[in-house]
Amino acid sequence: MTDPAAPRVPDAVRRRRRRVVCVTASLALQVPLLVTLLNVPPAQNGPAAESSAADERRLEDVFTAAAAEYGVPRSVLMGVSYQQSRWDSHRGKPSVVGGYGPMHLVDVPYAQGMLPGAGTQPLAGPHTSPRQGNSLGTRSAQPADLQRAARLIGVPVEQLRTDPAANVRGGAALLAATQRELGKPLSADPADWWEAVARFPGMSDTVSANTYANDVFNVIRRGAHRTTDAGQHITLPANPGVRAQPRDSLRPKDIECPPELSCSWIRAPYVEIGDGEYGNYDPADRPKDQKIEYIVIHDTEGPLPSMFQTVQDPNEVSWHYSIRSSDGHVTQHVRTKDAARHSGSQYINARSIGIEHEGILSQPDTWYTEQMYQASARLVRYLAKKYDIPLDRQHIFGHDNVPSPMGVTIPHMHDDPGPFWDWEHYFDLLGAPLRGTAGRHSEMVMMLPDYTTHKPLFTGCRTSGVPCTPHGSSAVRLHTEPRDDAPLIQDPGRRPEGDPSTEDVNDLGSRVSAGQVFAVAGRSGDWTAIWYQGSKAWFKNPKVRPTAVGTTGRMVTPKEGLSEIAVYGRALPESDAYPDDIPVKDESPLPYTFRAGQRYVTQDRVVGSFVDKSGTDGTFRVVQGDDEFYEIQFGHRLAYVRVDDVDVVDVSTTAGTPSD
């Protein structure tokens, strides 16, 4: 899921972080448990108690000061506190869920040990099911964290338990931190804080969060006055001009998402990280300055919370959307008009939208859920329609299909979402089913193994060299000759030292995938050969349950008189197209051969272009050339050849069988 020069996300970042399920205030109905569960000493008398009371007598001033200190509207801070505790501090005693003070900040480690069995199980409440309604899909799906609040304001945890002033400051700091994480300004307008308020108590579904935020804003609109448990008279003046949000208010107005999906924002930052260097995406005005041509399907190779940390780090990579495994919740990080850094190729980044799916490619049953497939397909269908992107496998492809920009980067290109991603089902959900359009003797074939029954051997899912549990797969393995014991096809770019391809789950050197289309190079019994990176590559294709189906389309082959042509990982403009202040980019042909007589399938013709990011403001300029290229399915990955180097062969009928 990473970008060119960036290494794969470090293991430390990808480790699963413990998730704590929040407990709502409704558990206060279990007050009778307090006597037995909470061994809390009685309230103190004397100077300490007098000091605490003095602090509470200043509570209105505390709200005013904390709101100013952290840039939170006073009415928002007071409204949240009213909804959390009705401004009561309970003299430093925790609630049954470990909540303290006027902001009811939850001391998570304390709360985990509070209820029977909580040492091994997360606390649960009526609003914590990740499948109830639409889930928020953010790191803040946990209670208002007292320990985090203490870190934010730089005071001991104990002080937030016992000092109402510190507790209010901690709540204000949490609200401000959430607002910043949402990419929103610390505005003086209470309405701008709607989403931060909704996330404050850590409810994990939008229905409950929406109800909570509505309640808070109702308090702000009508005002409130009461005497606290410490005898303080607190008033929140009415502000009837602040309107309650509609039911779908948790969905930001600028979210780019179909209306039937649950979507939210966690924004990637765009800040200067060095001398004229900016991270972690590239501002643009697509499709005005650069057409969006591709959608790249990634998996995270780790849980989403760690990935949310990554995408918010300006020194890290970025992508446009994340999709959660458990329920398909969509989180946007970068506007689609801007270019994220996600594919390993700046050329593809400038022309694509990157979508991360929470998952690990070697554990498909654990991560690749139907909810995620369906949400992803809805999102891609929406984006493809918006940007006129064809729904085929040369425009909707995996990170493992991204063309390497240069030969030296081929070994470092990624392999997600892997052989267990069900491309046939995915395209069914897209409304563009993968189907044959010609007879079995066509000159072109589409890879289309039956996912359920097609179970090629893979190793390394858990331990290197150890066979994976047999599983349905979209991948088709290729051999040098038409027999099962023949060596696997070797990718000279991936293994320049000549090492053989393997059956490892991460080894792409000898396989293709469902929906990819190739020119037939020969047939022998139950075996079919295709042209693959300059060689004949054989796969078993029996008449019963065939691995590939005949199809129609266009192929390219070297023009007559050319014995071999160059193959590129990007379609760059000719040198004359570059202005004087932009250095000419080296074309760097890939280390493969495309010889006379070979054919490769094309589904697109593009004009050479290059995105320059050397501007002082970090934005890019597009250098547009005149030279044109055909995008071809050259191997597992895509590639480009010059239009002037090839002739086009149309396959529109069930053409005869090529010779062996």
Residue 327: per-residue pLDDT: 74
Within a 13 Å sphere around the CA of 145, how many CA atoms are in the beta-carbon half? 19
Burial of 479 (0-12, 13-18, 19+ CB in 10 A): buried
Q: Give residue 463's identity as a one-letter amino acid code.
A: T
- For residue 3, pLDDT over 50 is answered with no
> What is residue 467's three-state secondary structure?
strand
pTM: 0.66
Alpha carbon distances (Å) from 582 to 239, 290, 418, 612, 620: 56, 17, 37, 7, 11
The pair of structure tokens assigned to 195 is 């989403």
pLDDT, one tens digit per residue, over 320-378 is 999 988 778 899 999 999 999 999 999 999 999 999 999 999 998 888 887 789 889 99
Residue 290: per-residue pLDDT: 92
Domains of the chain and any CATH numbers = 31-236 (1.10.530), 436-660 (no CATH)
Residue 317: per-residue pLDDT: 95
Residue 33: per-residue pLDDT: 29
Of 439, 344, 454, 441, nearest in space to 397 by CA: 344
Measured distance CA(643)–CA(653) in Å, rounded: 24
- For residue 73, pLDDT over 50 is answered with yes
pLDDT category, 51, cuts 50, 70, 90? Answer: very low
pLDDT, one tens digit per residue, over 60-70 is 999 999 999 99
Measured distance CA(335)–CA(591) in Å, rounded: 35
pLDDT, one tens digit per residue, over 394-436 is 999 999 999 999 999 999 999 999 999 999 999 999 999 999 9
Instruction: Name, of 31-40, 86-95, 384-393, the range with top average pLDDT.
Output: 384-393
Of 42, 75, 62, nearest in space to 169 by CA: 62
Which is it for strands 330-332 and 263-265: parallel, antiparallel or unpaired?
A: parallel
Count CB atoms within 10 A of the CB of residue 536: 18
Residue 628: per-residue pLDDT: 97
Residues 550 and 630 sit within 8 Å (Cβ to Cβ): no
Q: 143 or 532: whose pLDDT is higher?
A: 532
pLDDT category, 112, cuts 50, 70, 90? Answer: low
Of 224, 254, 105, 237, nearest in space to 174 by CA: 105
Q: Residues 108, 112, 115, 121: is their CA dihedral positive or negative?
A: positive
- For residue 47, pLDDT over 60 is answered with no
Measured distance CA(503)–CA(486) in Å, rounded: 13
Mean predicted lDDT score pLDDT of the chain: 83
pLDDT category, 498, cuts 50, 70, 90? Answer: confident
Calculate mean pLDDT across residues 212-238. Answer: 88
Which is it for strands 553-558 and 600-612: parallel, antiparallel or unpaired?
A: antiparallel
Count CB atoms within 10 A of the CB of residue 169: 28
* Secondary structure (DSSP) of 568-600: BSS-PPPGGGS-TTSPPPP----S--EETT--E
Q: To the nearest 10°, report the CA torsion of 144, 146, 148, 154.
A: 140
Of 588, 592, 593, 601, nearest in space to 564 by CA: 593
- Percentage of the chain surpassing pLDDT 70? 81
Residue 17: per-residue pLDDT: 32
Measured distance CA(562)–CA(593) in Å, rounded: 12
pLDDT, one tens digit per residue, over 168-213 is 999 999 999 999 988 889 999 999 999 899 889 886 656 557 767 8
Alpha carbon distances (Å) from 625 to 445, 538, 609, 632: 33, 38, 6, 20
> What is residue 133's three-state secondary structure?
coil
The pair of structure tokens assigned to 465 is 């060299």
The pair of structure tokens assigned to 61 is 């001033």
pLDDT category, 272, cuts 50, 70, 90? Answer: confident
Q: 233 or 50: whose pLDDT is higher?
A: 233
Instruction: Name, of 16-25, 26-35, 46-55, 504-513, the range with top average pLDDT.
Output: 504-513
Calculate mean pLDDT across residues 635-641. Answer: 97
* Secondary structure (DSSP) of 372-386: HHHHHHHHHHHHHHH
Residue 183: per-residue pLDDT: 86
Count CB atoms within 10 A of the CB of residue 353: 27
pLDDT, one tens digit per residue, over 293-325 is 999 999 999 999 899 999 999 999 999 999 988
Compute the chain's Rg from CA coordinates. 29
Which is it for strands 517-524 and 444-447: parallel, antiparallel or unpaired?
A: antiparallel
Measured distance CA(420)–CA(433) in Å, rounded: 18
Alpha carbon distances (Å) from 131 to 32, 134, 356: 30, 7, 20
Burial of 600 (0-12, 13-18, 19+ CB in 10 A): buried
- For residue 94, pLDDT over 80 is answered with no
Calculate mean pLDDT across residues 444-473. Answer: 95
Distance from the Cα of residue 213 to its chain's centroid: 27
Measured distance CA(383)–CA(335) in Å, rounded: 12
Of 274, 273, 280, nearest in space to 183 by CA: 280
- For residue 28, pLDDT over 70 is answered with no
Count CB atoms within 10 A of the CB of residue 382: 16
Residue 370: per-residue pLDDT: 79
- For residue 244, pLDDT over 80 is answered with no
Residue 277: per-residue pLDDT: 82
Residues 326 and 273 sit within 8 Å (Cβ to Cβ): no
> What is residue 563's three-state secondary structure?
coil
Measured distance CA(88)–CA(76) in Å, rounded: 17
Q: 17 or 217: whose pLDDT is higher?
A: 217
Per DSSP, what are the bridge partners of residue 100? 105
Of 115, 105, 59, nearest in space to 84 by CA: 105
Q: Give residue 27's identity as a one-letter amino acid code.
A: L
> What is residue 94's three-state secondary structure?
coil
- For the chain, the helix, strand and coil percentages under 3-state DSSP, each to the nearest 5: 25, 20, 55
Calculate mean pLDDT across residues 1-7. Answer: 43
Tokens 């309405």 sit on residue: 191
Alpha carbon distances (Å) from 596 to 311, 318, 593: 45, 41, 10
- For residue 12, pLDDT over 70 is answered with no
Measured distance CA(140)–CA(508) in Å, rounded: 38
pLDDT category, 149, cuts 50, 70, 90? Answer: very high
pLDDT category, 569, cuts 50, 70, 90? Answer: very high
